[in-house]
Structure 1
Amino acid sequence: MSRPARFDRGHTDDLLTYLAASPSPYHAVANAAERLEKAGFRKVEETDAWDGTTGGKYVLRGGALIAWYVPEGAEPHTPFRIVGAHTDSPNLRVKPLPDTGAAGWRQVAVELYGGTLLNTWLDRDLGLAGRITLKDGRDVLVNIDRPLLRVPQLAIHLDRSANDGLKLDRQKHMQPIWGLGDVQEGDLIAFVAEEAGVDAAEVAGWDLMPHPVEAPAYLGRDRELVAGPRMDNLLSVHAGAAALAAAAATADLPHIPVLAAFDHEENGSQSDTGADGPLLGSVLERSVHARGGSPEDRARALAGTVCLSSDTGHAVHPNYPERHDPTHHPRANGGPILKVNVNMRYATDGSGRAIFAEACEKAGVPFQNFVSNNAMPCGTTIGPITAARHGIKTVDIGVAILSMHSARELCGADDPFLLANALTAFLEG
């Protein structure tokens, strides 16, 4: 029997707010944590001893967040139900020596992060966000959310072949300008420190990234589409946080619902905050032990655990339909997609499909199937990494979008809340 929907278009309205307020992974986890706090969750420190009390808890580490809810009566061997996602998006990242320039222009030296669709960053008004680390070890979030930077494209008069095939040199052509005059060492960080209200002499490190300042927005004649930045994969982080908060309000949960939002998926997940790091395993193990569990209890809990790895996928592009599988055509507003790849670029198998289909049926949500064209390489997600690292049954799902890895992506306006409803039904078991 299907359950009444928890989320509607108001969820999508809140997603636009969340996207705009989350220009970096650090902001994304801070804003997700704020939503969980309002639902009664409390932060626990990794350096503290953990107790086995019931209720909602979460851990923050850099750009990663692990949150979980221990229901009344949970045993040490109670399995987990996990929604996995990632907080990072392909973009530009400020280098350790950021001040550069040429021909009287002051520029910011940037490195390319992940599989960035480079041309989408040209001629956009960009802000600057991330975190600065002070000498005393404190991190300070920074969000300069106004036009500050711009990566200027070469005029067509100076490159008559630009429309026949634009080729960008990753080192020379992607450095944004931010002013005029001579290059001054330390200038950018001094400016950022002033914006953050701290003494520049106290800044010991930084993780900063430009971001488009154009606001997310509804699009289309009937506002049936949403355009915005970082949907890959903050759309899933936002839906997962909403689903966890909703599941925590459910009585008699048979599992322990978990949200695992990792950093660094776009460059391989190999970090202390990535899916290929120890963070999730450590949190799950400590949760078992805090409830008086043994290694045997941990093994039993993981044996019954299921993870839905939620990430965006490809909707069929109307201008390039030949790039997609001819019999699998995910469409915007058709519901979440189930991702399958027999070479395990996605972790879904037949039994995983049954789990997701059951959750969608209970939520009253339609779902679609995604398979790559055999002639095209298939992407991957945190799903196979989670399955292999922890021995957890994992299913890859998501929302179909266009313009993946662009500075501004596009999805159906109904799909975010359809995903959130399916995730809630899954976490509720």
Structure 2
Amino acid sequence: MSTPPRFDRGHTDDLMSFLATSPSPYHAVANAAERLEKAGFRQVAETDAWDGTYGGKYVLRGGAIVAWYVPEGADPHTPFRVVGAHTDSPNLRVKPLPDSGAHGWRQIAVEVYGGPLLNSWLDRDLGLAGRLSLRDGTTHLVNIDRALLRVPQLAIHLDRSVTSEGLKLDKQRHLQPIWGLGNDVRDGDLIRFLERESGLPEGEVTGWDLMVHSIEPPSYLGRDKELVAGPRMDNLLSVHAGTASLSAVATSGRALSYIPVLAAFDHEENGSQSDTGADGPLLGSVLERSVFARGGSYEDKARAFAGTVCLSSDTGHAVHPNYAERHDPTHHPRAGGGPILKVNVNNRYATDGSGRALFADACDKAGVPFQSFVSNNSMPCGTTIGPITAARHGIKTVDIGVAILSMHSARELCGADDPFLLANALVAFLEG
């Protein structure tokens, strides 16, 4: 362990700001792009011809961003070092016909996205965010970051079985939030409200991708403020760390033998099968076009991909003090213990022994401790973009992340030092 850390608690402070201002994947990629712009990166359009100039570039597509930095002297066959992550989180999303209600309550019709802890959305003050598609073909980001909605829980007096049988929620009937009073529910009420809030002419919005979010801001927690509580850590924590590490590498002035890349995808929480998901063509297309823009051939592309490595960074499970039996008895990742290396021999994670060695070397160079995670054999193992990225592009992939509690809750929890420890490890990895 020789290199002093580049990031400290200031990184965690910035993460909290990033979480608070990124209530949707579209806001997350806009915030990542803004940070990259400050580091000298420039957006390129997928519909334009690309040139082979050096420097930082990025493409945006919906809720996904791919950014890369081409150092001076890079050959067409120079391999890539990729930090992979995802921008989406489980939540409640607005249906195509959003206006509903009954018995004097105005409600919004929502659909469950991904696998959220449903009870965590009850009795919270909720905002509404996402993107509006306009009549002229453009999009407009919207964020109503005030108490607008609420999913009220049934009083215990009306359901005594909760104490003996536990809370049971029907996804269709019990999760529709209220947002006002009145019996006259009219189609278009919500969209007209959002047009007014956004300063748009009435009738300008013709499509929308909207989702609810808790308006409670991230905060330090604990006796010594050694914990952080906040929304969407799965997986904006990794998106933020990847953005910060790529920016640091691009502005360090150090010679690079790899081309560092950030690939943050949408739709991981429901399978990654979309044009902006990890199972789509976006990453492969960007890397291939980068090779060809620098005068490369198919042979150069094959050589570059053969030497490419991806760190798939996603949150994982810290050992839960109240449910320790749910974890593997010999693998207990702890908050504050540094990033985790995820292993699953059935390829739910993409890590193998050589990948472990590569990550261990990066952590050693960064002066960062790391931990190992495997699932309890009696429990099903989750997965990430890692195996998808490895299989789709034929590139070596290693699954890592930060250990958290309350994964898929509206509000999650991690060690306050772990985000910047992860970012320091990512810098060492990207620098090669």
TM-score range normalised by the length of the shorter chain: over 0.9
**2:217 alignment partner, one of 201, 208, 215:** 215
Residue range with higher mean Cα deviation, 349-358 or 196-205: 196-205
Which runs of at least 4 in structure 1 moved beyond 4 Å after TM superposition?
Answer: none
How many equivalent pairs are there? 429
**Letter of the structure 1 residue corresponding to residue 135 of structure 2:** K
Alpha-carbon shift at residue 44 of structure 1 (Å): 0.4
Query: Is residue 2:355 matched to residue 1:352?
Result: yes
* Cross-structure match for 1:401: 404
SS in 1 for 2:350: coil
1:297-320 alpha-carbon deviations (Å, 9 max, x no partner): 000000000000000000000000
1:189-243 alpha-carbon deviations (Å, 9 max, x no partner): 0001111111231111000001000000000000000000000000000000000
Alpha-carbon shift at residue 2 of structure 1 (Å): 2.1
* Cross-structure match for 2:49: 49
Residue range with higher mean Cα deviation, 160-169 or 372-381: 160-169
SS in 2 for 1:200: coil
Query: Is residue 2:328 matched to residue 1:325?
Result: yes
The correspondence of residues 163-178 of structure 1 with structure 2, limited to 5 A, is 163-164=163-164, 165-178=166-179
Structure 2 CA distance, aligned partners of 1:299 and 1:308? 19
Structure 1 CA distance, aligned partners of 2:103 and 2:351? 53
* Cross-structure match for 1:253: 256
Alpha-carbon shift at residue 184 of structure 1 (Å): 1.1
Query: Is residue 2:10 matched to residue 1:33?
Result: no
Structure 1 CA distance, aligned partners of 2:163 and 2:176? 21
The correspondence of residues 175-214 of structure 1 with structure 2, limited to 5 A, is 175-181=176-182, 182-214=184-216
**Letter of the structure 1 residue corresponding to residue 390 of structure 2:** A
Normalised by the length of structure 2, the TM-score is: 0.99
Structure 1 CA distance, aligned partners of 2:421 and 2:201? 46
Q: Unaligned regions of 5+ residues in structure 1, if any? A: none
Same amino acid, percent of matched pairs: 83
**Letter of the structure 1 residue corresponding to residue 331 of structure 2:** H
* Cross-structure match for 1:100: 100
Structure 1 CA distance, aligned partners of 2:91 and 2:357? 36
Q: Unaligned regions of 5+ residues in structure 2, if any? A: none
* Cross-structure match for 2:154: 154
**Letter of the structure 2 residue corresponding to residue 284 of structure 1:** L
Normalised by the length of structure 1, the TM-score is: 0.99
**1:235 alignment partner, one of 232, 237, 250:** 237
Structure 2 CA distance, aligned partners of 1:427 and 1:196? 39
* Cross-structure match for 1:129: 129
SS in 1 for 2:203: helix
Query: Is residue 2:418 matched to residue 1:415?
Result: yes
SS in 1 for 2:362: helix
SS in 2 for 1:223: coil
**Letter of the structure 2 residue corresponding to residue 379 of structure 1:** G
Structure 1 CA distance, aligned partners of 2:371 and 2:91? 29
RMSD over equivalenced CA pairs, Å: 0.6
Structure 1 CA distance, aligned partners of 2:423 and 2:30? 19
SS in 2 for 1:385: helix
Alpha-carbon shift at residue 118 of structure 1 (Å): 0.2
Structure 1 CA distance, aligned partners of 2:266 and 2:32? 14
Structure 2 CA distance, aligned partners of 1:219 and 1:4? 27
Structure 2 CA distance, aligned partners of 1:130 and 1:209? 6
Structure 1 CA distance, aligned partners of 2:37 and 2:22? 17
Structure 1 CA distance, aligned partners of 2:418 and 2:257? 27
Structure 1 CA distance, aligned partners of 2:196 and 2:2? 53
SS in 1 for 2:302: helix
Query: Is residue 2:122 matched to residue 1:119?
Result: no
Structure 2 CA distance, aligned partners of 1:75 and 1:102? 64
